[in-house]
Amino acid sequence: MRQRAQFGVPSVEKTLGALPVVADFCRKLRIADVVDALCPVGDLAELTHGQVIEVLVANRLTSPAPLVHVADRAQAWAVGEAFGIEADLLNDDRIGRALDAIAPHLDHLTGSVGPTAIEAFGVEASRMHWDMTSISLHGAYEQAEQGYAAPRFGHPKDRRPDLKQIQAGLDRARDDLERLQRGLGSRHYPDLDKVTARIAVISRERQVRRALALHGSTKVDGLYAGRPAVPTGRLIFEALTGLRIIPGTGQSPPVIPQPTPVQAHLLDLLDVDPRDLR
């Protein structure tokens, strides 16, 4: 006879995923410290701007959501446990104030994160690769906003001289760490959280590959569809998505269900212990 399912108590588990990896990355790059030194908050503030930016980096890497939904996503994910903050403080107004605060300092911030990553992860930056392309635009562009590239006629790559264009340049280190100083016609910096997230993916990918090389290997068993695969940033973060955590109550500490063999291997290669919460 087929048994009938029953309702139980509401689940208190949260998704932990790659949050410990992101938190460790942010700590090594001192992202919160750099932001808070340039953009201090008052003594009564419950969150610093640096803490908010770290959460945005985590949001970008684990479960991208619009600003208005970041607080809800942080509640579903173990953002509070991984970063040591109250997730319900991450409303869109608080995030907006943090982004407004760092806007005048983007040049300095993006210029600080790149060199720190090079030092922290041993990126080979003695040789850089510079690539240019063009983006043709349709419509009227009488005057671009201040700080953005000005479309103009030229010699575009798509051979459409009848259209205005902007030039886009990308600067990379030899082992593929994207430099932060990249231009779009004139100097124009991308969002700090997107830049930092990109560096996190590349740095962690390199870290795993180098750790494998020390053991004479290039692939992680079971990483892709149960088969060995060369680790990429995307595969690493996807494999860690299944990590869960049961929040602590009272004197009881949080509990992390045993990671799968693949997850445990990746965490070992990354030198990250998910039990070390902030």
Percent above pLDDT 70 for the chain: 84
Number of H helices, E strands in the chain: 10, 8
Summarised one tens digit per residue, pLDDT across range 164-217 is: 877 766 555 555 544 433 333 333 334 666 667 777 887 888 889 999 999 999
Segment 15-25 mean pLDDT: 94
Q: How far is CA 76 from CA 12, 81, 193, 194, in A?
A: 10, 11, 20, 22
Summarised one tens digit per residue, pLDDT across range 146-164 is: 766 677 777 777 778 888 8
If pLDDT is split at 50, 70 and 90, which confidence band does 126 have? Answer: low
Give yes or no for residue 84 having a pLDDT over 50: yes
| Pairwise CA distance, residues 41 & 252, whole Å | 33
The identity of residue 143, as a single letter, is Q
Residue 200's closest CA among 87, 83, 113?
113
Structure-model confidence comparison of residues 64 and 269, the more confident one: 269
Give the H/E segment covering residue 244.
strand 244-245
| Pairwise CA distance, residues 198 & 66, whole Å | 18
Number of neighbours of residue 84 by Cβ within 10 angstroms: 11
Segment 76-83 mean pLDDT: 92
Please tell me the predicted confidence (pLDDT) of residue 131. 66
Q: Beginning with the edge strand found earlier in the chain, give each strand of the sheet holding 128-137 in spatial order.
A: 128-137, 164-173, 183-184, 186-187
